[in-house]
Amino acid sequence: MATVSIRDIRKSFGPVSIIKGVDVDIADGEFVILVGPSGCGKSTLLRMIAGLEDVTSGEIRIGDRLINDVPPKDRDIAMVFQSYALYPHMTVAENMGFSLRLKGTSKAEQATRVGAAAASLGLTPLLDRYPRQLSGGQRQRVAMGRAIVRDPQVFLFDEPLSNLDAKLRVAMRAEIKELHHRLKTTTVYVTHDQIEAMTMADKIVVMHDGIVEQIGAPLDLYDSPANRFVAGFIGSPAMNFVEGTMTEEGLSLPSGTILPLHQRPPAAVGSALTYGIRPEHLQLAPVGTPGAIPAVVTVVEPSGLDTTLIVKAEGGPMTVVLRERVSLRPGDAIALRPVANQSHLFDAAGLRIASL
Amino acid sequence: MPVSPKQARTLKHRSWVAFLVLPPIVFMSLFVVYPILSAFAYAFYEWRGLARGEFVGLANFREVLFGATMAPVVWNAFSHNVQTLIALMIIQNGGGFLLAWLLYKEPFGFRFHRVAVFVPVVLSTIIVGFLWKLFLNPNFGLVNQALLAVGLDFLARPWLGDSATALGALILANAWHFIGFPTLVYLAGMQRIPSDIIEAARLDGTSEWQLLKTIIWPLVAPSTTILFTLLFIGAFNWFEIPYVMAGLDGSPYGNTDVLGLVFYRTAFGNQSASIQNFGQGSALATLIFLFIVVFASMLTLWLRRREIQF
């Protein structure tokens, strides 16, 4: 096990800059998730840690060792690929023991270590099968087994659950988390799925367009997003945003509603701000309530656990999640009152300037 | 009996299918099946010169395989085909595999080399044979001149006239001509391997050689099957290069004689001896055909077993 430290990492493919100066510190035994939309550079960053991509500039260290120019096999890492990348001509046991075989480990030792890893992942009955004879979930487990057998200092996961169906994904999520809890190996995990990031990570690194937008614990990111991008990316359904103008009385929204502000944000009267509020922080209020946003219901989605309303308000769609069951129909006029202390204000540059 | 509309439709459909299928069947039968069968039949007849003689049973086959005149020539040629097969398997297919690996790694100028390596394949065999005959000319040929220029003149020799080097020279000329084909087939096979698998192997700690041996080679098995089978067939049908470079008699002294040349001399005549024995020629052709079919099928079946699916 080891720490991983990434210092001012940059990566360009010719004139195209993919990663534009990233700093991340990963503590020993930490489970860190790199998350962001497609093309944000998260996979490239992971591949640079693995040694599969050259570093254009900056430093990557595992423990105290600078590994920029160390070949992948000497970095003491193991990687699980999105496609699993199992060797199709080798059995499960051969796949898992391949790295040991290359190192010249004795047959007995290989069998012991492969056996132990297989047992911990429930793969023992499958050891003689070929990858093509396995289901997606089983292949995924073999890929993890192959990583575990190496007993590396760092595990790298590149969108490992993307090829699985929704139900299996939830199950494997728990399995990977449990595995990390047991092995306590430093892990860097890449995903574009913010639910995966929220549920699994000790620490999330939100990336966008080659830079880090915010690093923090999942709930810190959820409750205190640094900027509009993180606020919109983390959380599902996504946060609602409404453009407004700062006035003496509060924030003036397009419908003329004035949202009272409990504290004075650092913004001049007349400046344009973005108001952000999560769907679960809007409550139903009697129509006409002062400080409530008038809205018209367009879609009602009851899930049993909660009810999601899609409404038209302030010139655009907004999402509301209610815990209670409601008897609303499309076309009904309602009013939405924001829960106190749960909304955010972002300035013109997208930075969060206050939470209200 | 009245015909229902449905039956009429079926009949019309069948006539249409027959109309489409019949002409090619007739054509194939006339120009492919009939000649093959008649060649097979001729093998059982005495036939020298212009007209078919009497039925002689297996006599032609006996003469080809065990006769005092034919058998030594046939077995000598067969041994040369076998040597050619083994040598080309290593030089042409093995070399093609390594060249493909070099191209796969996309070195500087790989696009140019990818085309360059295939250019000789496009050339006519007659041209390649003639070209190499010039290269290997003992007096003014490029090979000996080059050896002379770098001070290795003791290595210079009449390559095509020396019994020790003649067959080897033909094999190398053939390999030069065709190496682009296995190279491209292997390259396509390698490009089919998901890059994740190669990256996973690198992370697992493979050296270059281990990667080739334990990952790439097994995963290009489908390419190997097709290349080895085609080479097997090609090696036992080998004719053009020996004919162009060494002549119909497989000179010097039969050192480059191969089954194709023996068949041609036997069936269509040797300029020097003006012998034409169509019966024995057909017997030899039949034997070559059966040998290739049986062993190529076995080889294919055996190689297919190694193939895996991604």
Nearest CA-CA distance, residue A52 and chain B, Å? 7
- pLDDT tier at B46 (50, 70, 90 boundaries)? confident
Nearest to B200 among A71, A85, A102 (CB): A85
Do the interacting molecules here have an ipTM over 0.85?
no
Edge-to-edge strand order for the sheet containing A65-66? A16-26, A4-13, A57-62, A65-66
Q: Is the pLDDT of residue B271 over 60?
A: no
Average pLDDT over residues A100-128: 92
pLDDT band at residue B273 using 50, 70 and 90 as cut-offs = low
Q: Which residues contact A284 (CB under 8 A, 6 or more apart)?
A: A322, A326, A334, A335, A336, A337
CATH number assigned to the domain covering A4-231: 3.40.50.300
pLDDT for the residue B64 = 87
CB atoms closer than 10 angstroms to residue A271: 13
Q: Would an 8 Å CB–CB cutoff place A82 in contact with chain B?
A: yes
pLDDT in tens, A115-137: 999 998 889 999 999 999 999 88
**Of A261-265, B86-90, B174-178, the least confident:** A261-265
Q: What is the pLDDT, as a whole number, of residue A29? A: 93
A278-301 burial string, b = 16+ CB within 10 Å, else e? bbbbbebbeeeeeebbbbebeebe
Nearest CA in chain B to A50: B203
Cite the residue boundaries of each domain of chain A with CATH code 2.40.50.140. Answer: 240-355
Residue B250 has pLDDT above 60, yes or no: yes
b/e sequence A141-174, b meaning 16+ C-beta within 10 Å: bbbbbbbbbbebbbbbbbbbbebbeeebbeebbe
Which member of B202, B215, B310 has the closest CB to residue A72? Answer: B202
Does residue A23 carry a pLDDT above 70?
A: yes
Residues of chain A with CATH 3.40.50.300: 4-231
Q: Do B197 and A88 touch (CB under 8 A)?
A: yes
Which of B203, B214, B308 is facing A78, going by the closest CB pair?
A: B203
Cβ contact (<8 Å) for B199 and A85?
Answer: yes
pTM, two decimal places: 0.81
pLDDT digits 0-9 by tens, A39-90: 899 999 999 999 999 999 999 999 999 999 999 999 999 999 999 999 999 9
**Residues B57-94 pLDDT 10s:** 888 899 889 988 889 999 999 999 999 999 999 999 99
The predicted-structure confidence for B101-159, as pLDDT tens digits, reads as follows: 999 998 888 899 999 999 999 999 999 999 999 999 888 889 999 998 998 888 888 88
* Distance, CA of A252 to CA of B227 (rounded, Å): 76
Model confidence at B306, pLDDT cuts 50, 70, 90, reads: confident
What is the predicted pLDDT for the residue at A267? 81
Tell whether the model's pLDDT for residue A218 goes beyond 90. yes
Answer whether A87 sits within 8 Å of B201, measured CB to CB: yes
CA distance B200 to chain A (A): 6
CA diameter of chain A: 78
* Chain A residues with beta carbon closer than 8 angstroms to that of B219: 88-89
Please give the full DSSP string across B22-59, using - where no structure is assigned.
HHHHHHHIIIIIHHHHHHHHHTTB--BSSS---B-TTH
Query: Distance between CA atoms of A251 and A245, rounded to whole angstroms?
Result: 6
Residue B200: list chain A partners with CB under 8 A.
79, 81, 85-87, 146
| Section A89-101 average pLDDT | 94
pLDDT of A278 over the 80 cut: yes
Residue A210: predicted pLDDT: 93
pLDDT at B210 over 80: yes
pLDDT, residue B1, reads 61
Q: How far is A159 from chain B (nearest CA, A)?
A: 13
User: Could you tell me the CA-to-CA distances from B240 to B126, B130, B247 in Å, in that order?
Assistant: 7, 11, 10
Please judge whether A103 and B210 are an interchain contact, meaning their C-beta atoms are less than 8 angstroms apart: no
pLDDT reading at A211 higher than 80: yes
Q: Does B213 touch chain A (CB under 8 A)?
A: no
B275 pLDDT more than 80: no
For residue A98, which residues of chain B lie inside 8 Å, CB to CB? 201, 204, 214
A73/B310 CB distance under 8 A: no
**What percent of chain A is predicted at pLDDT more than 70?**
100
Q: DSSP letters along A100-152, please?
A: HHHHT--HHHHHHHHHHHHHHHT-GGGTTS-GGGS-HHHHHHHHHHHHHHT--
Q: Which of A34-38, A211-215, A336-340, B24-28 has the lowest mean pLDDT?
A: A336-340
Is the pLDDT at B309 greater than 70, yes or no? no
| Mean pLDDT in residue range A213-224 | 94
Please provide the average confidence, as pLDDT, over all residues in chain A: 91
Tell me which of B204, B217, B305 to substitute to probe the interface with A (most A C-beta atoms closer than 10 Å): B204
Which of A72, A87, A130 is opposite residue B215, by nearest beta carbon?
A87
Neighbours of B202 (CB within 10 A): 20
Q: Which is more confident, A169 or B48?
A: A169
CA distance B55 to B41: 10
Please state, in angstroms and rounded to a whole number, the distance separating the CA atoms of residues B209 and B224.
Answer: 18
Residues 150-189 of A with CB under 8 A from B: 150
* Mean pLDDT on B22-42: 91
Q: Does residue B270 carry a pLDDT above 70?
A: no
* Structure confidence at residue B272 as a pLDDT band (50, 70, 90): low
More confident residue, B139 or B2: B139
Q: Is any Cβ of chain A less than 8 angstroms from the Cβ of B201?
A: yes
Nearest to B218 among A81, A84, A89 (CB): A89
Amino acid at the residue A207: M
Task: Give which of B196, B197, B203 to mutate to test A binding, by max A Cβ within 10 Å.
Answer: B203
Give the pLDDT of residue B274.
Answer: 61
Q: Do B196 and A130 touch (CB under 8 A)?
A: no
Neighbours of B188 (CB within 10 A): 13
Give the CATH H-level superfamily of domain B60-124+177-304: MetI-like (1.10.3720.10)
Least confident span in A267-281, B96-110, B216-230, B266-280? B266-280
Say how many C-beta atoms besides its own lie within 10 A of residue B119's C-beta. 9
Q: Are residues B308 and A88, on separate chains, in Cβ contact within 8 Å?
A: yes
Q: Look at A85 and B310 and tell me if their CB atoms are within 8 Å.
A: no
Pick from B196, B201, B215: CB nearest A83:
B196
Confidence label for B163 from pLDDT (cuts 50, 70 and 90): confident
The arithmetic mean of pLDDT across residues A82-99, rounded, is 94
Q: What is the pLDDT of residue A1?
A: 66
pLDDT of residue B297: 93
Q: Does A355 touch chain B (CB under 8 A)?
A: no
CATH class entry, domain A240-355? mainly beta
